[in-house]
Amino acid sequence: MSTTYFALSYVLLAFAAVATWVYSRLRPLRIAPFGQLLRHMMISRVNRIAVFAIWWWVGWHFFGQPFPN
C-alpha cells in the first residue's frame, strides 16, 4: 500500500505533463506546445548539449553502462 502511495508522486507528475501537453495543443496562444518550446530551446548550443546529454544518459543508465550499481 505504501509503495503505491509514494509511487503516486510520479503518476501525478506524469499526469501534469500529459495535461500540459494536451492543453498546449488546444490553446497554443496561451501555452506554447512542447514541440515549439523545444525548437526555440534548441537554438542555443548549451540547451542542445544539455537536452541530448539527458536523453543519452537515460539509454546509458538502463542499457549501456558496463558496470551498473
Smallest separation (angstroms) from another protein to the CB of 28: 7
Shortest distance in whole angstroms from residue 29 CB to another protein = 6
Q: Looking only at Cα atoms, what is the longest distance across the chain? A: 47
Residues 14-53, mask of contacts with another protein (x by CB under 8 A): --xx--x---x---xxxxxxxxxxxxxxxxxxxxxxxxxx
Q: How many CA atoms lie within 13 A of 10 on its CB side?
A: 4
Residue 20 to residue 28: CA distance in whole angstroms: 11
Q: Which residues bind another protein (CB under 8 A)?
A: 2-3, 6-7, 9-10, 13, 16-17, 20, 24, 28-53, 55-69
